[in-house]
Amino acid sequence: MDEARHLSVLLDDVVDLLSVRPGGLYVDGTLGWGGHAAAVLARGGHVLGTDRDPDALAAARSRLGPEAELHHARFSELPALLRGRRADGILLDLGVSSPQLDRPERGFSFRLVGPLDMRMDPSGGEPASEWIARATAEELADVFFRYGEERQSRRVARAIVQHRTERPEEPLLTTRQLAELVARVLPADGRIHPATRVFQAIRIFVNDELGELDRALEALPGCLAPGGRLVVISFHSLEDRAVKQRFRHLAGEDAPRDLYGNPVTPPAFRLVERRARKGTADENPRARSARLRAIERVS
Ligand SMILES: C[S@@+](CC[C@H](N)C(=O)[O-])C[C@H]1O[C@@H](n2cnc3c(N)ncnc32)[C@H](O)[C@@H]1O
């Protein structure tokens, strides 16, 4: 049932940009329910994939079958898993999947009642509720501002600390408790739920999503074979900014230039396209904010 519920974002664009050739090695760092990887397999590519979520990995395994080489791992661990093999294409489709969001027990959604957890890998790390129970007001506000771009971050942080002090018998353990607390302190603007940005921020923090992305952007381009492409789909501006800046750097856009305006050392990568491709809401509601960028290894 789950594979039908998660529609892969920008599927045709990914297939187009990876230009899969039979027998080539394609890495999917974010298998999810395996939609993109299935398209690669269907074109004769060999798939090596990771997901840090054991449920996603199990779903991908049953969809993709024994041909694909799948690992329960973070995508920053891919260079070690590749053991020197060079990939003809690498895909990162960042963030969480619809099945993760739709399962109340995972605690990602402020619309569903569940434990305040939000870990993509529940076998390790700290659930959101534990961090919320111990963080200082400054730490909370910093996370809400940095990862959620929440302008009222201090107000929300103060309300959480006040709740902890005044109601120690009612720790914030569920998504509903936190969503209601945020809704009490932040005015509704009618467009999005007032807790949207705070939930996004906590999820990014609990899973160290930007740290993971930075490490991957640093290491994965070097794992490509010449002609191979790294394709990244991001869902919010912090991720897209990191991808854009790193890709432009790799393509030599900030490199020293000679008198004729050419880079002094030819860059090893090129931008496949200058602009990001965008998802559309008619594809899938999640796709509306999707931005896809790709680089290619030239030497
Ligand atoms: C948007 S979904 C991917 C959907 C997939 N492309 C498909 O077609 O079904 C993102 C997936 O990436 C996983 N993920 C996110 N960050 C990760 C990381 N750093 N390492 C490994 N998996 C990660 C999540 O657990 C989730 O299953």
Centroid of ligand 1 to alpha carbon of 90 (angstroms): 13
Does a structural domain hold residue 290?
yes
Place of tokens 């070097």: 222
Q: Do 153 and 234 belong together in one domain?
A: no
- Domain with 131, as residue range(s), is 122-206
Angle, vertex CA 253, rays to CA 252 and CA 257, nearest 5: 80
For residue 231, list its beta bridge partners: 91, 294
- Residue-wise pLDDT tens digits, 26-67: 999 999 999 999 999 999 999 999 999 999 999 999 999 999
Does a structural domain hold residue 232?
yes
Does a structural domain hold residue 255?
yes
Say how many Å lie between the first and final Cα of the chain, rounded.
Answer: 43
Does a structural domain hold residue 292?
yes
Q: Do 215 and 80 belong together in one domain?
A: yes
CATH code of the domain containing 143: 1.10.150.170
Could you tell me if the CB of 50 is within 6 A of ligand 1? yes
- Residue-wise pLDDT tens digits, 274-294: 999 999 877 677 788 999 999
Mutation probe of ligand 1 site: the residue of 41, 62, 97, 207 with most atoms within 8 A of C-beta: 97
Q: What is the rounded distance in angstroms from the CA atom of residue 249 to the CA atom of residue 90?
A: 18
Q: Which two tokens stand for residue 7?
A: 């529609």
Question: Which of residues 177, 206, 235 is at a domain's end?
Answer: 206
Task: Provide the residue-wise pLDDT of the chain in tens; the chain has 299 residues.
Answer: 444 446 899 999 999 999 999 999 999 999 999 999 999 999 999 999 999 999 999 999 999 999 999 999 999 999 999 999 999 999 999 999 999 999 999 999 999 999 999 999 999 999 999 999 999 999 999 999 999 999 999 999 999 999 999 999 999 999 999 999 999 999 888 888 999 999 999 999 999 999 999 999 999 999 999 999 999 999 999 999 999 999 999 999 988 899 998 888 889 999 999 999 999 877 677 788 999 999 999 98
For residue 71, list its beta bridge partners: 50
From atom 12 of ligand 1, which residue's Cα is the shortest distance away? Answer: 30
Question: Which of residues 173, 206, 239 is at a domain's end?
Answer: 206
Q: What is the rounded distance in angstroms from the CA atom of residue 232 to the CA atom of residue 230?
A: 7
| Sign of the torsion angle spanned by Cα atoms 239, 243, 249, 253 | negative
3-state secondary structure of 244: helix
Number of domains in the chain: 2
Centroid of ligand 1 to alpha carbon of 193 (angstroms): 24
Q: Do 164 and 226 belong together in one domain?
A: no
**Phi (first) and psi of residue 116, to 5 degrees:** -80, 85
